[in-house]
Amino acid sequence: MLNILAISGSLRAASTNSALVAALARNAPPGCRVTVYDGLGRLPIFNPDDEGERTPLEASALIDAVTQADGVVISCPEYAHGVPGGLKNALDWLVSRDAAVAKPAMLVHASPRSLFARAALDEIMRTMSFALCGDVLEIALLGKKPPEVEAILAEAASQPAMHDALNAFADFIRAR
Ligand SMILES: Cc1cc2nc3c(=O)[nH]c(=O)nc-3n(C[C@H](O)[C@H](O)[C@H](O)COP(=O)(O)O)c2cc1C
């Protein structure tokens, strides 16, 4: 059984990115368990002085979750052509240690735009030595309200798309 950690880069209650990672968790194919990380908003702002023995509990929990996962899936909005601070902060807590090194990761997209954030995340995560799988899932949820989001995620085409993406990611993980 592969354990995949899914992270949404949005803290919004009605977040489309969070809806997408929740749907991935509900639709994981056999052989994959997807767990949604819910601590993004509780992480202290990264400070290199607070590493080692001073690492805050919430940061340790994130580091442990990434370390123990076989792979990480991230769905992230774009703010002002960049990666939202909350997600960048989470990634910063992972830089000076082994958690991200060679860790398989896949970016999934809830917006057909966000090309700057996609490119930035790709660059950041490669620099951190994540092993990035190619982009394989985009479900356009931008601007949709929760009932519409859930309807799109329940559509006949969405479920096989999520299965296929997770199966491709599982193959990528197993091939490493
Ligand atoms: C402060 C702010 C800045 C944004 N800047 C951009 C942007 O530069 N490019 C873009 O495509 N969308 C931008 N958006 C739109 C969000 O990326 C979009 O609404 C996204 O779906 C939000 O994700 P969520 O539903 O998971 O919260 C911005 C939204 C906010 C709130």
Pocket lining: 80 vs ligand 1, CB cutoff 6 Å: yes
Pocket lining: 15 vs ligand 1, CB cutoff 6 Å: yes
Domain extent listing, the chain: 2-174
Q: Tell me the average pLDDT across 155-160.
A: 95
CA of 79 to the centre of ligand 1 (A): 5
Pocket test for ligand 1, best of 15, 114, 152 (most atoms within 8 A of CB): 114
What residues contact residue 97 under an 8 Å CB cut-off, 6+ apart? 63
Q: What is the pLDDT of residues 39-70, one digit of tens each?
A: 999 999 999 999 999 999 999 999 999 999 99
pTM over cut 0.95: yes
The CATH number, out of the four listed (3.20.140.10, 3.40.50.300, 3.40.1280.10, 3.40.50.360), of the domain defined by the range 2-174: 3.40.50.360
Q: What is the pLDDT of residues 121-141, one digit of tens each?
A: 999 999 999 999 997 899 999
Q: What is the pLDDT of residues 68-97, one digit of tens each?
A: 999 999 999 999 999 999 999 999 999 999
What residues contact residue 30 under an 8 Å CB cut-off, 6+ apart? none
Helix axes 158-174, 16-26, angle to 10 degrees: 70
- Atom of ligand 1 minimally distant from the CA of 75: 26
Pocket lining: 16 vs ligand 1, CB cutoff 6 Å: yes
Pocket lining: 126 vs ligand 1, CB cutoff 6 Å: no
Classify 80 as helix, strand or coil: coil
The whole-number pLDDT of residue 135 equals 73
